[in-house]
Amino acid sequence: MELTVRIGRATLAGLAYLGGLARLGLRAAYYAFVAPFRGKPMRFQRAVHQSMAVGVEALPILSLISFFIGVILALQGAYELRKFGALNYVSSAVAISMTRELGPLITAIVVIGRSGSAFAAEIGTMKVTEEIDALETMALDPVQFLVMPKFLAMALMLPCLTTWADSMGVFGGALFGVAGAGFTFRGYLLSTFDALQLRDITTGLIKSIVFGGTITAVGCYEGFRTGAGPEQVGRSTTSAVVASIFLVIAVDLVFTAMFYVLGRG
Amino acid sequence: MNEQIPPRNAAPGLEPETVISVRDLRVQFGDREVLHGIDLDVGRGETLVILGGSGSGKSTLLRVLVGLQEPSGGHIHIRDVDLCRATPAELAAYRKTLGISFQGGALFNSMTVAENVALPLREHTSLEESTIQIMVRLKLEEVGLAGFEDYFPSQLSGGMRKRAAVARALAMDPEILFFDEPSAGLDPIIAAGIDQLILRLKEAFHMTVIVVTHELASAFLIADRMVLIEKGNIIASGPPAEFQASTHPRVRQFLDRVAEPEIEDELDYLQLLTETLGAGRRPRGSKVR
């Protein structure tokens, strides 16, 4: 009895959480795509500012991580492929796993760590210092003012970052290809292009846009849920990261399964 | 300074003067009711000080009056709108006519002082940028912060932050100005400066000012009328002189700063603790069964 009650409560809480995220996401989408046509400001400048923070400033760390992942993938792939004398398939193994899966996922995880947590901390601090209240009493909607630019920036930047991560991963694979599998650099790239199909890249990019929406919604939602007191900001930041990682992987599963069933996989 | 302005009386007889009329206002958090049927009138140009101890419900009352907290019952009539049943558009229109100085200032830390003050003007008016700049300078001069336009809130002292917040609250030339604990966290000299600022604003603009505080000295200096809230009820209301002469035991206790009697009985103490922690939950380590 006790157990079923607990499961029921947890399920309800989970559903309420998802509902909250969806509502926040929809309101931000309304302000981003519908309200500008009704004479409300677009806050383009804020979105550009956010894009710099979310996108451009993430490039160095993302480049390094995806390059390493590319090398690791090539090494792991070669371990198995060598048994079949199929070392020249390393390039396609790296290319396909990078573009379809690891590029979007690694990008999402780096962005969660850098920006998802920052969103929660920023909005959480503003909640604690009554800045959110101040916005509301100035008749400014915090969702329009704070969340919408973040959504725009994420929806724009995650596909860009993912494309960048994909190519850095391929370069990482090329390092092993040239050093350990007898490829020339040009030959490795050519064989990568041969292996890749456009849909490998597009499915990855579609996923990355959805990841971007998820990370923003969770980060901002956790920020708004911050209770009274500065220590609550830390709690919000932690739950934003944990919930984002979980939800991004869950969304990844749903979309991968969907692409598979739709025959696009 | 205070004597120049005759205290206004917002008794029911002077109905046309009333800007805010609160009737049977109730606020509930879960099962707990924190405001039990508040009745309150605020006259035009009046400075009303809402006094009360911590947890008395005075901050909740302020939050309801500015539309940050939804009441569970009652009416708040402001002009012809009932705030408790207002549409989002009516609420937004009302909010554009009020200014609030929050306890910690609540300035946006990512913006300079000038940008903070200019924000409502940029968002809600179609004024030219040059006009906005002039208005920002005027508002900052008004609060004695001329020359601090390009400072960030983190570079200002507590008193200056509060002044900047007042400048931002004044930006849209509000009809009603709210102060939440204007002297909280400030030393007596800076706090006195804020009191003087409130008096000056009142004299210069004839605004309706509502101040929530527990600072007695400040309250008696600025108030035209005071109300004392305790446990979610208004227990006394009147001009400062009347308040000072009150014989109501709780008013006297508040004004004379008499501490609550110490709780000697251990059982009483545990019961109080249990109530504070939430119904049904016993404090950890309690041996009472």
Domain boundaries, chain A: 2-261
Nearest one of B184, B197, B195 to B58, comparing CA atoms: B184
pLDDT given for residue A191 in this prediction: 92
What's the mean per-residue pLDDT of chain A?
92
Nearest one of B32, B8, B47 to B278, comparing CA atoms: B32
d(CA B195, CA B47): 12
Q: Do B168 and B107 form a contact (C-beta atoms < 8 A)?
A: yes
Predicted confidence pLDDT, tens digits, chain B (289 residues): 333 444 444 444 444 478 899 999 999 888 888 888 889 999 888 999 998 888 888 888 999 999 898 899 889 998 888 888 888 888 888 988 899 999 888 999 889 999 999 999 988 888 888 999 999 999 898 888 888 989 999 999 888 898 899 999 988 889 899 999 888 888 888 888 889 888 888 888 888 999 998 888 888 889 999 999 988 888 888 898 888 888 888 888 888 878 777 666 667 767 767 766 654 444 444 444 3
Would B165 be classed as within a structural domain? no
Split into its structural domains, chain B has a count of 1
Q: Give A188-220 pLDDT, tens digit per residue.
A: 999 999 999 998 999 999 999 999 999 999 999
d(CA B58, CA B181): 10
Given an 8 Å threshold on Cβ–Cβ distance, is A139 in contact with B92? yes
d(CA A17, CA A7): 15
- The domain spanning residue B64 has which CATH number? 3.40.50.300
**Contact residues, chain A, for B62 at CB < 8 Å:** none
Given an 8 Å threshold on Cβ–Cβ distance, is B100 in contact with A136? no
Would B135 be classed as within a structural domain? no
Given an 8 Å threshold on Cβ–Cβ distance, is B106 in contact with A133? yes
pLDDT given for residue A120 in this prediction: 96
Would B141 be classed as within a structural domain? no
Would B230 be classed as within a structural domain? yes
Which residue of A41, A130, A137 is in closest CB contact with B95? A137
The beta-carbon contacts of A174-180 under 8 Å, at least 24 apart in sequence, are A174/A70, A174/A91, A175/A67, A175/A70, A175/A71, A175/A74, A176/A71, A176/A74, A176/A75, A176/A78, A176/A90, A177/A74, A177/A90, A177/A91, A180/A74, A180/A78
d(CA A112, CA A242): 9
Domain hosting B192: range is 2-97+175-277
Here the ipTM equals 0.79
Q: Give B238-275 pLDDT, tens digit per residue.
A: 898 888 888 888 888 888 878 777 666 667 767 767 76
Cβ contacts from A onto B, under 8 A: 46
Mean pLDDT in residue range A103-129: 95
What chain B residue is nearest to A40 in terms of C-alpha separation? B123
Given an 8 Å threshold on Cβ–Cβ distance, is A131 in contact with B98? no
Coil, strand or helix: which one is A222?
helix
CA A161-A162-A164 angle, to 5 degrees, is 65
Distances (CA, A) of B164 to B109, B118, B132, B208: 12, 11, 16, 20
Of the candidate ranges A236-240, A256-260, B276-280, the one whose mean pLDDT is the lowest: B276-280
Residue A22: is its pLDDT beyond 70? Answer: yes
Residue A19: is its pLDDT beyond 60? Answer: yes
pLDDT given for residue A132 in this prediction: 93
Distances (CA, A) of A191 to A94, A97, A265, B50, B229: 11, 15, 20, 77, 78
Mean pLDDT in residue range A5-31: 93
Mutate to test the interface with B, among A122, A131, A150 (most CBs of B within 10 A): A131
Q: How confident is the model at residue A7 (pLDDT cuts 50, 70, 90)?
A: very high
d(CA A100, CA A28): 28
pLDDT given for residue A230 in this prediction: 83
**Contact residues, chain A, for B161 at CB < 8 Å:** none
pLDDT given for residue B45 in this prediction: 87
Residue A80: is its pLDDT beyond 70? Answer: yes
Partner residues linked to A157 by β-bridges:
none
pLDDT given for residue A134 in this prediction: 93
Q: How confident is the model at residue A168 (pLDDT cuts 50, 70, 90)?
A: very high
Would B256 be classed as within a structural domain? yes
**Contact residues, chain B, for A140 at CB < 8 Å:** 119-120, 123
